[in-house]
Amino acid sequence: MRSYLVKARAKAGLTQREAARALLISQNYLSDIEHGIRQKNIKLSTLKGFSRVYHVPTEVLIQLEEIFQNRLKRKEKNSNENRHII
């Protein structure tokens, strides 16, 4: 889950519906992005949109996305290692 996006949205005082409208995407799509279901590798243009709507510097969102990606890779690696044990 991209909790950093959920926290940034909450700090901006936006509901998911309001944020989705401002980002010109559906609420379901935003939910999928926040939960890591869609855009496993989030695009820079998408991060720039979040930056604009949530009033968070793009550089900060890039760093937080890198942390998210690193955690995801570790989780996948551990999952693959556990498959070999069984």
- Greatest mean pLDDT among 1-15, 29-43, 64-78: 1-15
Residue 24 burial (10 A CB sphere; 0-12, 13-18, 19+): exposed
pTM across the whole model: 0.80
> What residue type is 76 in one-letter code?
E
5 Cβ contact partners less than 8 Å away, ≥ 6 residues apart: 33, 34, 50, 54
Q: Which of the listed CATH numbers 3.40.50.300, 3.30.365.10, 1.10.150.80, 1.10.260.40 matches domain 3-85?
A: 1.10.260.40
Cα separation of 86 and 81, whole Å? 9
31 Cβ contact partners less than 8 Å away, ≥ 6 residues apart: 16
**For residue 84, pLDDT beyond 70:** no
Q: Give the number of other Cβ atoms within 10 Å of residue 64's Cβ.
A: 18
